[in-house]
Amino acid sequence: MAQPFMTLLKDGQDYLKTWPMKKELYALFPECRVIAGTRFAMKVMPPVSILACAVLFNTQGQSYLPQIIAIGLFFMSIPVQGLLWLGHRANQQLPPSLRQWYQDIHAKMRLQGCKVTAARSRPRYMELATLLKNAFDDMDSAFTQSWFR
């Protein structure tokens, strides 16, 4: 079922803030690269959009105003596209292999005495992000390194 546009953007922002940006995860998940690109685009694209519009307006004049607006909107839409992808990904259910990995990490954290929420039978990527963030924050590096060997 399709979700409203603003809900996807909010979910994407939450997912962007929750996902742990650790070097161990770069090879396993595309989220790290998409998050890095989206953060970069959020910083760079508004000034690039304004600069492109100003240069085009200065060189081409008012007769090209529709094209100038389209180019400005294109540059401004790039970070939105990243947030939409992240929002869609956050709401997808984990495939069976990652679901098992999620259950294993959850069980190990509970055995170590970490405070974790109840494990879901059908977790989404957002629950995986929350669990991984808690694991990297609460557990020592030797314990988390054992998951990525």
Could you report the per-residue pLDDT of 108-142, keeping only the tens digit for each?
888 887 778 887 889 999 999 999 998 888 776 65
Strand partners, 124: 93
Strand partners, 93: 124
Tell me: pLDDT of 48 over 90.
Answer: yes
The single-letter code of the amino acid at 91 is N
Domain boundaries, the chain: 1-91, 93-149
Tell me: pLDDT of 149 over 70.
Answer: no
Confidence band of 43 (pLDDT split at 50, 70, 90): very high
Q: Which residue has the tokens 């991984």?
A: 132
pLDDT for the residue numbered 143? 61
pLDDT for the residue numbered 47? 97
pLDDT for the residue numbered 13? 97
- Residues 6 or more apart whose CB falls under 8 angstroms from that of 88 comprise 8, 12
Helix H or strand E segment including 1: none
pLDDT for the residue numbered 137? 84
C-alpha span between 149 and 147 (Å, rounded): 6
Average pLDDT over residues 5-16: 95
C-alpha span between 64 and 47 (Å, rounded): 20
Could you report the per-residue pLDDT of 59-116, keeping only the tens digit for each?
999 999 999 999 999 999 999 999 999 999 999 999 999 999 999 988 888 888 777 8
C-alpha span between 79 and 58 (Å, rounded): 26
Tell me: pLDDT of 146 over 70.
Answer: no
